[in-house]
Amino acid sequence: MQSFDFDKTDISKIKQAISGNDELLKATLAEYHASEIAILFESISSDDRERIINLLDVETASEVISEMHEETHPEELLFQLHPDKRTEIVEELDYDDATDIISQLDEHEQKEILEELSDDDASSIRNLMSYEEDSAGGLMNTQFISINLNLTKKDAIDEIIRQSEEIEEFYTVNVVDDFNVFKGIVSLKDIIKAKGNAKITEMVNPDAVFVKADTDQEEVAKLISQYNLTSIPVVDNEMRLLGRVTFDDVIDVLEEENTEDILKISGVSEDEELSGNWVEAVKSRLPWLIINLATAFLASAVIRHYESTLDSLAVLSAYMVIIAGMGGNAATQALAVTVRRISLYDLTDNQAYRTVLKEFTVGLINGAVTGLIVLVFAYFFDSNFMLGLVIFLAMTGNLVIAGITGSSIPLILKRVGIDPAIASSIIITTFTDVFGFLLLLGLASKLLL
């Protein structure tokens, strides 16, 4: 396998091999990792994907399908394969990966695939499909190592060896009682170092971090990150051990959540696929633009109200663009930082207050500095100190408003149960435009006329 980065040259090389015979293509594919082949799948036809999957061994084919981005629809590729091939691939997949892929299919297609599997595999996947997709239950893998609390060191090692034959890799050993109730975790290192007659009950860490099956995936990710865990146990309401969520699953969650927040802050629906066509993009974005248009009329109303001021001081129109642009940028900065803080931490009232106070201070200082720059410009370029003073006050005031609204609005929306990433940007844009124009034109009408 090549050690350099997978780039356009490599994609071109494989595409060229696709036009040749199967032996050439198979030999070329052998040079690349499964994740690199999954990247290639984003730029080739479904027929070529199917051909490649059929040329790969089952282990590599399952890795490729599990690495495919959801927007390239691995479920469709899986379903179009010959039943024998897809059954082998599903059985090779981890249960959580198989569940994620199969759950995207129509109900009758799910049924067809599950009926082809062994009873144990089908039952495990059906069980995982019963959980919400964005919960710990929907994220977990039901393949894990668990040993009884009362085992001796020797018996525990024998049991770990027996169970590990069915598991590709594991990071921690879960400890349960006779009723499969979770009692904690124990490290393999502690078991190996223990005396020969020691029991697991003497080594177990009962304060291990765990999550319930209905815990939101973002909370799972936070806990794994906070406690530097490689995996976290998942239990039901009776504390019975159900599965585990590993750090590699959390990486996918963090990427998904970050992408979702970025799209929302930009006024783009999470339903729009990044590789979707223009029809999907229009359907996703147009409603938000219409809402934004409605709020823009408020800013327009302020300008209309001060139409006589603008007639007398036409130069103000040039500075209105600066005031609005600076306010919008400052508010977006405050919004991005605040939404990120909300997504990472459960802010207390005091932390929320300190967040708003910080952005108020930042807005005041940045507004004063940038306002002073424009004041100097207006004094020398327009030979009008009072005009510069009005712009200075308007700039300072608008950036203070930008800081306050950019930080407080997402906090308020979060408190009332609305996703702060969805509506915040439109609201703060309205505030900075309306108050920016109001401050500039209002002060100009009082101090310059």
Out of 6-15, 43-52, 235-244, 415-424, the most confident range is: 235-244
Q: Tell me: pLDDT of 188 over 50.
A: yes
Q: What per-residue confidence (pLDDT) applies to 1?
A: 42
Q: Tell me: pLDDT of 445 over 50.
A: yes
The CATH class that applies to domain 146-246 reads alpha beta
For 211, the 3-state DSSP assignment is strand
Q: What per-residue confidence (pLDDT) applies to 444?
A: 93
Q: Tell me: pLDDT of 262 over 80.
A: no
**227-236, 289-298, 313-322, 347-356: least confidently modelled range:** 289-298
**83-92, 97-106, 185-194, 415-424: least confidently modelled range:** 415-424
Q: What per-residue confidence (pLDDT) applies to 2?
A: 44
The CA-CA-CA angle for residues 228, 230, 233, to 5°, reads 105
Q: What per-residue confidence (pLDDT) applies to 3?
A: 41
- Report yes or no: 211 and 245 within 8 Å, Cβ to Cβ: yes
Q: What per-residue confidence (pLDDT) applies to 62?
A: 94
Sheet holding 173-176, edge to edge: 146-148, 173-176, 182-186
- Report yes or no: 234 and 176 within 8 Å, Cβ to Cβ: no
Question: What are the CA-CA distances from residue 329 to residues 73, 210, 295, 440 (Å)?
Answer: 37, 41, 17, 17
Percent of the residues in the chain that have a pLDDT greater than 70, as a whole number: 90
Question: What are the CA-CA distances from residue 15 to residues 45, 138, 235, 394, 405 (Å)?
Answer: 11, 36, 46, 58, 51
Assess whether the region 146-246 and the region 278-447 belong to the same CATH fold: no
Look up residue 193 and give its two tokens. Answer: 């170092």
Q: What span, in angstroms and rounded, lies between the C-alpha atoms of 436 and 449?
A: 19
Q: What span, in angstroms and rounded, lies between the C-alpha atoms of 320 and 294?
A: 20
Quickly list H helices, 240-306: 247-265, 278-305
Look up residue 55 and give its two tokens. Answer: 């040329």
pTM reported for the whole predicted model:
0.62
User: How much is the CA Rg of the chain, to the nearest whole Å?
Assistant: 29
- Report yes or no: 396 and 366 within 8 Å, Cβ to Cβ: no
Quickly list H helices, 41-152: 46-55, 58-67, 74-80, 83-92, 95-102, 107-116, 119-129, 136-139
Query: pLDDT band for position 423 (50/70/90)?
Result: low
Q: What per-residue confidence (pLDDT) applies to 42?
A: 83
Structural element, H or E, at residue 175? strand 173-176
Phi, psi of 89 (to 5 degrees): -65, -45
Q: What per-residue confidence (pLDDT) applies to 369?
A: 96
CATH 3.60.21.10 given to domain 8-130:
no
CATH 1.10.357.20 given to domain 278-447:
yes
Q: What per-residue confidence (pLDDT) applies to 393?
A: 96
Give me the residue spans of the domains in the chain: 8-130, 146-246, 278-447
Structural element, H or E, at residue 379? helix 349-381
For 412, the 3-state DSSP assignment is helix
